[in-house]
Amino acid sequence: MLWTTSLCLLWASFVLGAPVRKERQKLLLVSFDGFRWDYDRDVDTPNLDQMAKDGVKAQYVTPPYLTITSPAHFTLLTGRYIENHGVIHNMWFNTTTSVKKPYYPTQFVNEWWDNGSLPIWITAQRQGLKAGSVHFPGTASSYQGQVVMNREVEPQLYNYKNETAWQENTDMVMGWFRDQDLDFVSLYFGEPDGVGHRFGPDSPERRDMVKQVDRTVGYIRQSAHRHGLTDRLNIILTADHGMSTVFRNGMVEEIILKKIPGFLFSDLSFHLVDYGPSGMLLPKPGKLEKVYQTLKGAHPHLHVYKKEEMPEHLHFANNDRILPIVLWADPGYVISGYFPVQFNQGEHGYDNLEMDMKPFFRAVGPAFHKNLEVGPFETVNIYPMMCHILGIQPEVNDGHLDATKHMLVTSVTSKGGNINFLKNAFTGLAAVAGFLAVVFIATISLKIIKRKRKNESFRSESFEDVQEKEETKQTSF
| CA–CA–CA angle 325, 35, 277 (5° rounding) | 20
Nearest to 141 by CA among 189, 190, 102, 105: 105
Q: Tell whether 355 and 437 lie within a shared domain.
A: no
Q: Tell whether 328 and 442 lie within a shared domain.
A: no
Rounded mean pLDDT of 87-101? Answer: 97
pLDDT in tens, 399-454: 999 999 999 996 544 444 444 434 444 444 444 455 455 445 555 655 655 555 55
Q: Tell whether 74 and 199 lie within a shared domain.
A: yes
Asked if residue 195 lies in contact with residue 38, where contact means CB atoms within 8 angstroms, the answer is no
Measured in degrees and rounded to the nearest 5, phi and psi for residue 100 equal -130, 140
pLDDT in tens, 137-189: 999 999 999 999 999 999 999 999 999 999 999 999 999 999 999 999 999 99
Rounded mean pLDDT of 12-20? Answer: 42
Q: Tell whether 128 and 76 lie within a shared domain.
A: yes
Rounded mean pLDDT of 301-316? Answer: 98
277 is a domain residue: yes
Distance CA 348, CA 243 (A): 5
Q: Tell whether 212 and 82 lie within a shared domain.
A: yes
Residue 475 pLDDT > 70, yes or no? no
Q: Tell whether 220 and 266 lie within a shared domain.
A: no
Quick check: helix, strand or coil at residue 288? helix
Q: Tell whether 338 and 356 lie within a shared domain.
A: no
Percent of the chain with pLDDT over 70: 81
For the domain that residue 297 is a member of, what is the CATH number?
3.30.1360.180
Q: Tell whether 148 and 297 lie within a shared domain.
A: no
Angle between helices 163-179 and 204-226 (to 10 degrees): 30
Nearest to 384 by CA among 410, 405, 366: 405
* Residue-range definition of the domain harbouring residue 301: 255-343
For the domain that residue 373 is a member of, what is the CATH number?
3.40.720.10
Pairing of strands 278-283, 268-272: antiparallel
Q: Active-site residue numbers? A: 69
Tally the domains of the chain. Answer: 3
Q: Tell whether 280 and 399 lie within a shared domain.
A: no
Q: Tell whether 94 and 31 lie within a shared domain.
A: yes
Positions of E strands within 182-322: 184-189, 233-238, 244-245, 255-256, 268-272, 278-283, 302-306
Distance CA 262, CA 471 (A): 141
9 is a domain residue: no
Residue 304 pLDDT > 60, yes or no? yes
Q: Tell whether 170 and 224 lie within a shared domain.
A: yes
205 is a domain residue: yes
Q: Tell whether 363 and 215 lie within a shared domain.
A: yes
Distance CA 93, CA 114 (A): 15
249 is a domain residue: no
Listed residues 319, 343, 367: the one ending a domain: 343
Q: What is the dihedral of CA 115, 118, 121, 125, to 10 degrees?
A: 120
